[in-house]
Structure 1
């Protein structure tokens, strides 16, 4: 009986030995994987934490950009909308038909518009997305065109044919008077062009802030899944 048990034990041992021998490569590989996981787990967790921190920092940066963009757009609207409305009332009838603007009103409008958005159109040139920069350039050109037209209207009313440092010929003075007369009704068109450029800028700014909100929303989802 004891011999039988002993023989059975030896047989089992031999079977286990053969199994280990046959699968020793697999066993060794599995053991290596387990060891690598045990050793590498803290490293992978650190990498995950670092990625999460990077995402959080990126989100904070986008949030700052969004807040600055909204504040900048609001400041621009506050600065330009009311002066353009005033210019529209002076150069167009309520039905939209152009009305002649006088030299005094032209001078006052030009004075109000002069340098109005220099802080934004000049100082902050090249600091925003391409679409916004393009709209800023168009608004700058429209405002310059309006200012030149207003200047042509009021200039002969405040100056003579000759002065201390200039003297215009009769032909040159006639051209000045012609441009002044033309500008009285052309001012309405220039105001409309400025309004059109202003609306285009608002649209570009709104598109930019919407894109930032979408980026922030996507990051919030990623951060929620990662943490």
Structure 2
């Protein structure tokens, strides 16, 4: 799945924000882009679909150079949550190196969350990615709203999966960087198993995550 050019010593990673319509995927990326240090992020590019108020995808590139000289770029995409855009979701998921599933914390959205996660599992299978091998984190967004699922209920439901669960209000800006950090750390673990990031490239888990989520100040 990883784009890797041994001659150029360059690696490109792809993270995808997935979830039901209006769960806050776009807001997450907009807030993340705002919260990161300007010199550590690229321009945010937005494409609007013709018949949808959400975006087609966001692209957020970062650049990092390991002590070995390996150049690493990370691209972050969103996918539209509406059913009619399922073909787009499959296309964006191809070659994904990590997924952040953005759920809506409101009790009324529990069914939509479950259906969207099931859609994620099916689409990953279609594009040839095993969900149990993929770095994946869950974010329960919109914690600033009323009638949300209790934290205990969320952890009881997802605890057995082993996926990290982060509570968030992307609109208020909290939980956003923490979600991306958790995804970066899980992605590092997967990369280290395959490419010996620590031994061969001298890049530690902490340094990888800290470089990606570096904030102003």
Assess same fold via TM > 0.5. Answer: no
Q: Per residue, is there more strand in 1 or in 2?
A: 2
Which structure has the greater CA radius of gyration? 1
Using structure 1 for the length normalisation, give the TM-score.
Answer: 0.26
Q: Per residue, is there more helix in 1 or in 2?
A: 1
Q: Select the structure with the greater relative contact order (CA < 8 A; seq sep ≥ 6).
A: 1
